């Protein structure tokens, strides 16, 4: 049985119009040990019923708070409750961290992260941790959103990119209507993936996190490019 840890909500940050970061501290003053890329189960009592949902961790293990990024889901009991009802000081329970994606310096010399929408959540954890630890891992984040306003953690990630010479951020918009946008447009392509991997596909590990359709399409694309399935890690808990 998974251990439950009591946590207190200490801060809420609005990332986009539909996504917020909820920052917690443990009542025992200990951040649960986890590796970037992992997730937890979050428990909340809503209208007398205990609800349990899984969410990826967005903070780094070195941060002072334990952060979860929740995107508002239509008719979603947990996300609606958190976006509209919770307040600072509320107490909740989380599970011990879980998940097979455990980013560390031994994972690979080059890692390409492909995310869509709220799939950015575990990637933020990886980017923060790698920068804080000054890891030499070559990291490239490909982040696909509909519009620029949907890019979560945008300023923070660009700041990390400036601080970390081993980190590169590639944003691409699928429904851009802003003529002033200077970034990429369109869906993630083989060309973008080749660029992100510096054309060294066989020595790169790929981490994918997004909707079910994005996870499947990106996994299939990588296999078409000759990538061994052992090099592909899919996070299904990130949104």
Task: Give me the domains of the chain, ranges plus CATH numbers.
Answer: 4-95 (2.40.30.10), 110-235 (3.40.50.80)
Q: Report whether 19 contacts 12 (CB < 8 A).
A: no
Q: What is the mean pLDDT of residues 112-135?
A: 96
d(CA 23, CA 198): 35
pLDDT digits (tens, 9 = 90+) for 183-210: 999 999 999 999 999 999 999 999 999 9
Mean pLDDT score, 49-70 = 96
Q: Return the SS3 of 15.
A: coil
With helix as H, strand as E and coil as C, how does 3-37 read?
Answer: CEEEEEEEEEEECCCCEEEEEEEECCCCCCCCCCC
Residue 31: the pLDDT is 74
Which residues have a Cβ under 8 Å from the Cβ of 199 and sit 6 or more positions away?
Answer: none
Kindly state the average pLDDT of the residues 173-181. Answer: 95
Confidence grade of residue 236 (pLDDT, cut at 50, 70, 90): confident
Query: Tell me, what's the pLDDT at 238?
Result: 42
Banded model confidence at residue 237, pLDDT cuts 50, 70, 90: low
What is the per-residue DSSP string for 96-135?
PPB-S----TTS-SEEEEEEEGGGHHHHHHHHHHHHHTT-
* Mean local confidence (pLDDT), 56-72: 96
Arithmetic mean of pLDDT, 139-157 = 97
110-116 and 91-95 strand pairing: unpaired
Q: How much is the mean pLDDT over the chain?
A: 94
pLDDT attached to residue 239: 39
Q: What mean pLDDT do residues 59-68 have?
A: 95
């Amino acid at each position: 049985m998974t251990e439950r840890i009591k946590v207190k909500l200490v801060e809420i940050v609005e990332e986009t119009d539909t996504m917020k970061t909820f920052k917690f501290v443990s009542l025992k003053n200990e951040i649960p040990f986890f590796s970037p890329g992992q997730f937890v189960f979050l428990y909340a009592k809503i209208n007398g019923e205990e609800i349990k949902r899984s969410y990826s961790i967005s903070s780094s293990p070195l941060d002072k708070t334990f952060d979860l990024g929740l995107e508002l889901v239509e008719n979603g009991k947990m996300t609606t409750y958190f976006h509209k009802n919770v307040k600072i000081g509320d107490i909740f329970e989380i599970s011990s961290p879980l998940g097979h994606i455990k980013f560390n310096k031994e994972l690979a010399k080059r890692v390409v992260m492909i995310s869509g929408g709220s799939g950015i959540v575990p990637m933020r954890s990886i980017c923060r941790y790698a920068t804080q630890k000054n890891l030499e891992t070559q990291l490239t984040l490909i982040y696909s959103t509909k519009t620029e306003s949907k890019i979560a953690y945008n300023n923070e990630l660009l700041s990390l990119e400036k601080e970390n010479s081993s980190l590169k951020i590639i944003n691409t918009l699928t429904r851009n209507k802003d003529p002033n946008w200077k970034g990429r447009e369109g869906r993630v392509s083989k060309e973008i993936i080749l660029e992100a991997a510096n054309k060294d596909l066989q020595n790169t590990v790929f981490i994918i996190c997004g909707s079910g359709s994005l996870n499947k399409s990106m996994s299939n694309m990588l296999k078409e490019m000759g990538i061994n399935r052992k090099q592909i890690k899919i996070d299904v808990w990130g949104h």
